[in-house]
Amino acid sequence: MDLHTWDGALAGFQRYLEVERAMSPKTVEVYLRDVAALRAHITEKRGAEPPLARLSAVDVRSQLAALFGDNGPSTLARKLSSVRAFGRFLVKRGVLTANPGAGVRGPKKRQGLPRALDVDDAFRLVEAPAATGRVTARKLSPAEEARHGLLRVRDVALLELLYGTGLRVSELCGLDVTDIDRDRHQGVAILLVRRGKGGKSRQVPIGGAADRALAAYLPARASLGASGAALFVNAAGQRLTPRSVQRLVKRWTIAGGVHAAATPHALRHSFATHLLDEGVDLRTIQDLLGHASLSSTQIYTKVSLDHLTKVYDDAHPRAHVDVLDDPA
């Protein structure tokens, strides 16, 4: 393929992202779409498609300016990141001498705090399938009632695992039965996360509640007709999708009377925040969450102000010294 043409460069960029960077199909699709949008913008502005070799920082700034107002800071930053990645690829392949996106400043993003549930709401959510029973009002046949019971057992295990391990929803859906290891760590159950973000793998301990829920679920999984390797399956025995998990978390949030808006990602945030509140160090939480950089984990220090205040109160030598009135 000729990397000096737009079509050839985009095809080469796609292969680079898929093979060398091991990115997911969805991420690759977003990168290619963002670069294609830049190509379309430049073509429309100049009246004809310019040679790839003439791609410049001016073109990148022009596109960002055109998008400003209709797109938020996060979207603009993502598009700029895609273009920068494309520029780095072209420089590595000798098509360009400099990355046209490297010197372009992106918009400042307002960094929102993760939405974590408080401990009571987290407990209400993970216990909702067992505590509330079925959530349909219509009368069920015995076979349907039995199937609903199996799905409730599944949902207990799924929610316990989300809250007990801090998995991303995509990681949860990618789990296989063989990813549960109870043999190598002196009786402590370990979850092997093989399909982490960026293709990275990690090991996460499974807490007692989640482990017991999984042990109860595995026979139910077989009764649901699961024939493949997937750990969590739907009523037809097929692997659950992230969208299905999002729907069932919402359903049990309502059924359990949870006061906050809960999502699978909120349970991940809750896992990290509650560990930090209990004194677990950031490096450990970073490893458990699978963050590539500690800076991604440090946001939880903002969430856990109560934890930081307690640490100061317990540790600082002047925290409990009475201040005397000035005798003057």
Q: Which residues are catalytic?
A: 168, 197, 265, 268, 291, 300
Element (H or E) spanning 10, and its range? Answer: helix 6-15
Kindly give, in sequence order, each residue whose CB lies less than 8 Å from that of residue 197, ignoring residues fewer than 6 positions away. Answer: 168, 170, 171, 290, 292
Task: From residue 149, give the alpha-carbon distance in Å to each of 3, 12, 84, 179, 296.
Answer: 57, 50, 50, 25, 39
Identify the helix (H) or strand (E) that includes residue 265.
helix 264-277
In 3D space, the residue among 316, 158, 152, 294 whose CA is nearest the CA of residue 235 turns out to be: 152
For the chain, give percent helix, strand, coil, nearest 5. 60, 5, 35
Helices (H), 54-207: 57-67, 73-92, 119-132, 142-165, 169-173
- For residues 129 and 157, give the distance between their C-alpha atoms in angstroms, rounded to a whole number: 10
Q: Report the 10 Å Cβ neighbour count for 128.
A: 25
Exposed/middle/buried for residue 283 (C-beta within 10 Å: 0-12, 13-18, 19+): exposed
Is 112 strand, coil or helix? coil
List the Cα angle 66/110/242 in 5-degree steps: 90
The DSSP element (H or E) to which 283 belongs, if any, is helix 282-289
Cα gap 256→259, rounded to integer Å: 9
